[in-house]
Amino acid sequence: MSYLKLAIGAVLAITILGLVAIAAIYRGNAISAQAETKQAKAALATVTAVNDANQATIGRLQAQATYDAKMTAQLAEQLAASNQVFIDNTAALHKLKDANADVDHFLALPVPPALRQLYDKPGAAGGRQD
C-alpha cells in the first residue's frame, strides 16, 4: 500500500508541477501580449497623428488650388480684356490711318535709329527674341 500511496503522490506531484508550468507559460504569454498591446497603441497614436497632419496638409493644398484657380480665371479675364483693348486700338488706328492723310503720312515715316535701338534690345517689349 505504501507503494501505491507513493505512486499516487508522485503522480499528484507531477500533475501539480505540470499545472504550475502551464500557468507560468500562460503568464508569460499574457505579459508578452500586454507588451504587444502597448506597442500597438503607441503605433496607432503615431499613425493617427501622421494622418491628422496629412489631412491638414491636404486641406491647405485644396484651399491653395482653389485660390490658384480663382486667380488664374481673373488673369485670363484681364488678358482677354487687354487683348480686346489692343484689338480695338489697332482697328481704330487703321481706321484713322485710312481716314486721315496726315496720320497715314506720319505712320509711314521711318523710326529714328535711337528709338529703334530701344525696341530692338532682346527682352524689350516688342523687341527681338534672339
Q: Which tens digits make up the pLDDT trace of 58-117?
A: 999 999 999 999 999 999 999 999 999 999 999 999 999 999 998 889 888 898 888 888
Provide the 3-class DSSP secondary structure of residue 124. Answer: coil
Phi-psi region of 126 (alpha: psi -120 to 50; beta: other; left: phi over 0): left
Contact 104, 98 (CB under 8 A): yes
The C-alpha cell of 80 is what?
A: 482677354
In a domain, 90, yes or no: yes
Q: What angle do CA 75, 76, 78 make, to 5 degrees?
A: 60
In a domain, 14, yes or no: yes
Share of the chain above pLDDT 90, in %: 71
- CA distances to 72, 86, 117 from 79, in Å: 10, 10, 28
Contact 127, 119 (CB under 8 A): yes
In a domain, 9, yes or no: yes
Domain count, the chain: 1
Domain assignment of residue 49, given as a range: 2-110
In a domain, 129, yes or no: no
- CA distances to 112, 113, 122, 123 from 130, in Å: 22, 19, 6, 9
In a domain, 11, yes or no: yes
